[in-house]
Amino acid sequence: MKAVTDGAKGYRRLIPSLTALVEFEAVARLRSFTVAASELGVTQAAVSRQVRLLEEMLDVRLLDRLHRTTTLTREGEALYAVVAEAMGKIAGVFDRLSTGIEDEELVLATTAAFSHFRLMPSLARLTRLQPNLRLRLTTTMFTADLRHNEVDAAIRWGNGKWGDGTSYLLFDEQVFPVCSPGWKNEYGTPGSLEELANMTLIAYDPTSEGWLTWEEWFRAIGARPTKLKYGVRTCLYTDAIQAARLGQGVALGWGRLLHEHLASGELVRLTSASLPLSDAYYVVVPHGKTMSPTIQTLIELLRNAAGVA
């Protein structure tokens, strides 16, 4: 019994102020004393005082206070990662106990195209493996800052280096021309990139998701066509692929996203020309959240569904 009492005293000695940790977490997550104070319902001076208390206790600087922003030092990053994870676990238990809901809810952020082509086809198997799972999808057009969104994981396109979470590689990508089998039978296979440029192409508006335009694809492959012939232009990549499936022309196909369409023969490659990309798809778990068995299962399903061994 004495050992337990001593241990409790030891924790209080090492962590004398839980309030200071709570307020430090808010500042570190929001990168602002002012915004953190507003979220916590206290004054900015009170938040600053608590963070300064932590720094004095540890004898290290946790935050660099700049004119318009606040950044974490190396020591601050180390403390924030641990505090955010611990608070996330505590909040999860409180939520489960207060609501009485035992089913697990997974809040997942993804783009519309990834949800349409990769996530939806995997949901049936995921629910079979996790029958008590409740999935809530947040569809985004742009890459959202996970510090300001209550999500358990996000699917992102990029280099895997983001400061608001831990990244887990899903799969890489390569981009090549695709069309319907009927369109290929009618118009044939182009003998060169110049011939491809003169075919009826399907274009879509590029966004921050990283979509390549036809012009960018040709330049990266090493071709410089003087003029491209567009038959259909769409705002969304999903609409461009639908137009290709319906025989309206040639679209740029992202191989992993369209794996099932290509495997079934619904879409076919028009040429052997292909552009491998340096970026890739990642699952990002925000700081303060943990890699749960459900997220790990989802990663494995998405990899398998995209043809990744």
Domains of the chain: 2-99 (1.10.10.10), 104-171+280-305 (3.40.190.10), 172-277 (3.40.190.290)
Please write the tens of the pLDDT for every residue from 220-241: 999 888 788 899 998 889 999 9
Please write the tens of the pLDDT for every residue from 147-179: 656 788 999 999 999 888 889 999 999 999 999
Over range 264-285, report the average pLDDT: 94
What is the C-alpha to C-alpha distance for residues 278 and 282, in angstroms, rounded to an integer?
A: 13
Residues 6+ apart with CB under 8 A from 146: 109, 154, 162, 164, 165, 284, 286, 287
Give the model's confidence band at 262: pLDDT under 50 very low, under 70 low, under 90 confident, else very high. very high
Report the range of poorest mean pLDDT among 7-21, 44-58, 192-206, 207-221: 7-21
Residue 255 has pLDDT above 90, yes or no: yes
pTM of the complete model: 0.66
Residues 6+ apart with CB under 8 A from 245: 180, 261, 266, 267
Residues 6+ apart with CB under 8 A from 4: none
Over range 100-116, report the average pLDDT: 77
Burial of 292 (0-12, 13-18, 19+ CB in 10 A): middle
Q: Average per-residue pLDDT in the chain?
A: 84
Give the model's confidence band at 142: pLDDT under 50 very low, under 70 low, under 90 confident, else very high. low
Three-class SS string for the chain? CHHHHHHHHHHHHHCCCHHHHHHHHHHHHHCCHHHHHHHHCCCHHHHHHHHHHHHHHHCCCCEEECCCCEEECHHHHHHHHHHHHHHHHHHHHHHHHHHCCCCEEEEEEEEHHHHHHHHHHHHHHHHHHCCCEEEEEEEECCCCCHHHCCCCEEEEEECCCCCCEEEEEEEEEEEEEEECHHHHHHHCCCCCHHHHHCCCEEEECCCCCCCCCHHHHHHHHCCCCCCCCEEEEECCHHHHHHHHHCCCCEEEEECCCCHHHHHHCCCEECCCCCEEEEEEEEEEEECCCCCCHHHHHHHHHHHHHCCCC
Over range 278-295, report the average pLDDT: 88
What is the bridge-based pairing of β-strands 268-269 and 165-179?
Answer: antiparallel
For residue 157, the tally of other CB atoms under 10 A from its CB is 21
**Which tokens is 200 given?**
């009826």
Residue 297 has pLDDT above 70, yes or no: yes
